[in-house]
Chains A and B, each alone.
Chain A
Amino acid sequence: MKKSLAALLCGILFGVGLSLSQMSNPDKVLAFLDVTGNWDPSLILVMAGALITLATAQHFIFKRTQPICDTQFHLPKTNAPIDHRLILGAVIFGIGWGLVGFCPGAVLAALGDGKFEPFLFTAALGAGMMLFSWFHDTK
């Protein structure tokens, strides 16, 4: 229960962060990606704000041996090799991201606008994920 409440608080902060920075608006994201057009560098500052805050906080968090509500930190290995799968996945994601300007967090933050497009995109996103598990679980 404590884990769920902590996650709820974090989700609220994340959602407000996405909305305040307008990253839930694909126009804003596409304007960042359009470097040869009327370029909007805002996304760089979103990343800068997030990275400075997170890196500083983690400096202290990782001095602990475990998190508050769990017995271990669940971290992917930082020394795992950069393989074809990682790069191919990033290429596929990059094409999809550039087509509309929605990444998974942004589209969830846009659902509340009540428009048709974010719902359709979310359904397709889920289908893409199911397609992935289907391919990779049957192999």
Chain B
Amino acid sequence: MENFTPYSAFFGGGLIGLSAALLMFFNGRIAGISGMIAGAFSSTDNDRHWRWYFLGGLIVAAALFNHFFQAAPATYSRGTLVLVVSGILVGYGTRLGNGCTSGHAVCGLARLSWRSAAATVTFMSVAILTVYVMRHLLGMSS
């Protein structure tokens, strides 16, 4: 476990929690990223523009932070086909299941939602199983 980074993980998580708290305090909205992406493109929701500001702020702030302080760059060992299939599954699955890591595993759990707890246990278990199959059964590197 020499790659364990408890302090940056905990404080980074704290900032994510603070962001979600302030979004609820000011706008009364859940900080679920998959729902926010879909909602930003919604043609029926006239109150959608705040989502563009959130997503834009996220992208630019993370880009700047990574540019100056990134601990380790990603290696990206997956090929094009796996990336495309994975992206489609994540996009489709988060819409069907009404949320992703931020919406269910952070915002939902903080509100003690049983639906979010069920979703979180499910996608974590399936993801762990997927990594096990990829790395240890199929022997794909990283």
| Cβ-defined partner of A90 (8 Å) among B51, B64, B76, B126 | B126
Within 8 A of A (CB), among B16-49: 16-31, 33-34, 37-38, 47, 49
* A 33-58 binary contact with B (CB < 8 Å = 1; else 0): 11111111111111111111111011
- Whole-angstrom CA separation of A93 from B33 in the bound complex: 13
Contact A57 B17 (CB under 8 A): yes
Contact B12 A21 (CB under 8 A): yes
Interface size on B, as a range, is 35 or more
Contact B91 A76 (CB under 8 A): no
Total number of A residues with any Cβ neighbor in B under 8 Å: 113
Q: Which residues of chain B are near A66, meaning CB under 8 Å?
A: 28
Interface of A is mostly: helix
Residue pairs across A and B with CB atoms within 8 Å: the count is: 470
Q: Which residues of chain B are near A47, meaning CB under 8 Å?
A: 13, 105-106, 109
- Whole-angstrom CA separation of A52 from B14 in the bound complex: 8
In this complex, what residue of B is CB-closest to A81?
B115
Give min CB distance, B8 to chain A, whole Å: 5
Q: Which residues of chain B are near A48, meaning CB under 8 Å?
A: 10, 13
| Cβ-defined partner of A89 (8 Å) among B23, B29, B93, B129 | B93
Q: Which residues of chain B are near A14, meaning CB under 8 Å?
A: 15-16, 19-20, 31, 54, 57-58, 61, 102
- Whole-angstrom CA separation of A47 from B15 in the bound complex: 11
Q: Which residues of chain B are near A132, meaning CB under 8 Å?
A: 91-92, 95-96
Q: Which residues of chain A are near B125, meaning CB under 8 Å?
A: 94
Q: A6-B23, A108-B33, A129-B91 are in contact. Are A12 and B28 (CB under 8 A)?
A: no
* A 12-42 binary contact with B (CB < 8 Å = 1; else 0): 1111111111111111101101111111111
Give min CB distance, A15 to chain B, whole Å: 3
- Whole-angstrom CA separation of A112 from B96 in the bound complex: 28
Within 8 A of B (CB), among A96-135: 96-100, 102-113, 115, 117, 120-133
- Whole-angstrom CA separation of A36 from B80 in the bound complex: 26
Contact B93 A15 (CB under 8 A): no
Contact B96 A89 (CB under 8 A): yes
Within 8 A of A (CB), among B100-142: 100-102, 104-107, 109-115, 118-120, 122-132, 134-136, 142
A residues near B, CB below 8 A? 2-28, 30-31, 33-55, 57-58, 61, 66-70, 72-76, 78, 80-82, 85-100, 102-113, 115, 117, 120-133
Q: Which 8 A-B pairs have the closest CB atoms?
A: A112-B63, A89-B97, A128-B91, A124-B87, A21-B12, A98-B130, A49-B13, A11-B57
